[in-house]
Amino acid sequence: MKPHVLLVVTSLMSIVLMSFHIAEDIVLGFAGGGESNLFGIAILAFYICGALLWSDRRWGLVILLLGAILALTIPILHMQGAGVGVKRTEGAYFFVWTLYALGMTGMFGIVLSTRALWSTRGARRAVAT
């Protein structure tokens, strides 16, 4: 599979997993529902535009890199201190699985977007000479 396609698919997977995670945070009581979630929706909408509309541009790749860093940061923040925070509730397994999957797609997205940004740097240098 081409690296560009892998990057777009990985970004879309991260977006789906982040939306599951936000919903689980609300259901399990870690975050309150309300108008503050509109900010999260805006971030995910910007991320999906970066993946589907702007992934062939340099600044679109920067958006994908920032989204991948965000996806990797979510499990890191939840694993600090008291741990995940859920013990034996019904949604605990899916919540923890979502954290692990977000970490994996985030790390893979960082690798792919960094590689794509690096290759566009070389292409720009070749055009300049």
pLDDT tens, position by position, 71-110: 999 999 888 865 666 666 777 888 889 999 999 999 999 9
pLDDT tens, position by position, 62-72: 999 999 999 99
Amino acid 93: pLDDT: 86
Distance CA 128, CA 66 (A): 27
**What's the pTM value of the predicted model, to 2 decimals?**
0.88
Burial of 128 (0-12, 13-18, 19+ CB in 10 A): exposed
Percent of the chain residues past pLDDT 70, beyond the cut: 87
For residues 59 and 79, the model is more confident at 59
User: DSSP assignment, residue 30?
Assistant: S
8 A C-beta contact, residue 55 and residue 7: yes
8 A C-beta contact, residue 107 and residue 87: no
Q: How are the residues of the chain apportioned to helix, strand and coil, as percentages rounded to the nearest 5?
A: 80, 0, 20
8 A C-beta contact, residue 43 and residue 19: no
User: The tokens of 64 are what?
Assistant: 């994908």
Amino acid 50: pLDDT: 97
Distance CA 18, CA 45 (A): 12
Amino acid 35: pLDDT: 87
